[in-house]
Amino acid sequence: PARAWEPRTIRLRLMAIPAVIARHARRTVLRYKADHPWTDLLLAGLGHLQALPAP
């Protein structure tokens, strides 16, 4: 399971997800490849981070 991964393993796996940098409406957006095995893990983690209250 992903919870047992070491920080180095997590970093290597998440940095291996292919993405395209796109500019749209004056914003820079990363578009991740949807069929990569770890894209769901990354998006779930980002969702958890966005749900945290502001400091």
- Tens-place pLDDT, residues 2-46: 677 788 888 888 888 999 999 999 999 989 998 998 888 888 888
User: Is 53 inside a domain boundary?
Assistant: no
b/e code 5-32 from CB counts within 10 Å (16+ = b): eeeeeeeeeeeebeeeeeeeeeeeeeeb
User: Is 16 inside a domain boundary?
Assistant: yes
As a whole number of angstroms, the distance between CA 38 and CA 44 comes to: 10
For residue 1, the model assigns a pLDDT of 62
For residue 4, the model assigns a pLDDT of 77
| pTM of structure | 0.64
Q: Both tokens of residue 36?
A: 């990569």
User: Is 42 inside a domain boundary?
Assistant: yes
User: Is 54 inside a domain boundary?
Assistant: no
User: Is 55 inside a domain boundary?
Assistant: no
The boundaries of the domain holding residue 28 are 2-48
Question: Considering its fold, how many domains does the chain have in total?
Answer: 1
